[in-house]
Structures are given as C-alpha cells and as structure tokens.
Amino acid sequence: MLRDVFSIYLLHIGKILLIGITMVLPLLLVHTAASAVFAFYVDDSVYANMFSFFFYVIVLWLIQVPYIHLFKQETSGEEVRLIEMYRVFFQCFFPVLLVGIGYGLLVVLGLTLLIIRV
C-alpha cells in the first residue's frame, strides 16, 4: 500500500511540483499577505493569530483539490493530465471555498471555546 503511494509520487513528481508552484505557492503567498495586513491593522495578537489560522485552514482545504484529482485519475486508470487538474481546481474553487470557510469557522470557534474552557 505505502509502496504504491510512493510509486505514484515518483511517477508524477514533475506534475506534483508544478501544481505546488503554480497553485499552492500563490495561495500561501496570499495567506501570508492577508495575515500580515490583518496583523498590522489589529493591535491584538490573539485576533491576528486566530485570523491567520482561520485563513490557513481555508487555504489548506483548497490546495487539496488538484492532488485529490491526480490520485483519482491515477487510481481509476485514466491518463493523468495536468490541464484536467487545473480545470477541476477552478471548477470546484468556489464550492470548496464555501465549505472551507464553514469548516474554518467551526475549527476556530471550537478552538476559542477550548481556550475559554481551559
């Protein structure tokens, strides 16, 4: 099982790195810029860290889409096409973003309640 996963990684390492550079890196740069701007305008570091964590959870939710599609293509026996991963990413961007926002809000709310409780 683990050997199969690593063989998929080694087989498609170029595509995985290209997705990382073209999709993941820009989203992480937007996350860093938004967190820095929010931290600059908010004096409280707790709120700035909570916003950064919230936004990071959303970004992590979004960047999984092309990798999931890559492994779906590989396991179903289809040809792994890079353009198909980009198409699926942009097609699913807003629905996944909305679910990610809800998920992020629930995680931050749960973390806040945990901090208040302790």
Query: In the numeric block, which tokens belong to residue 31?
Result: 């996350």
18-52 pLDDT, tens digit per residue, is: 999 999 999 999 999 998 998 888 888 888 888 88
CA dihedral 81, 84, 85, 88 (to 10 degrees): -160
DSSP one-letter string for 61-99:
HHTHHHHHHHHHHHHHT----HHHHHHHHHHHHHHHHHH
- 44-48, 50-54, 55-59, 100-104: which range is least confident on average? 44-48
Residue 7 φ then ψ, to 5°: -70, -35
Half-sphere exposure of 42 (CA within 13 A, CB side): 15
pLDDT of 90 reads 93
Residue type, 41: Y
Residue where the block lists tokens 């629930």: 106
Give residue 71's identity as a one-letter amino acid code: F
Query: Is-contact 80 12, C-beta < 8 A?
Result: yes
Retrieve residue 20's tokens: 């990382």
Higher pLDDT, 3 or 17: 17
**Domain parsing of the chain, residue ranges:** 1-117
The answer, yes or no, to whether residue 118 has pLDDT greater than 60, is: no
Predicted local distance difference test score (pLDDT) of residue 65: 93
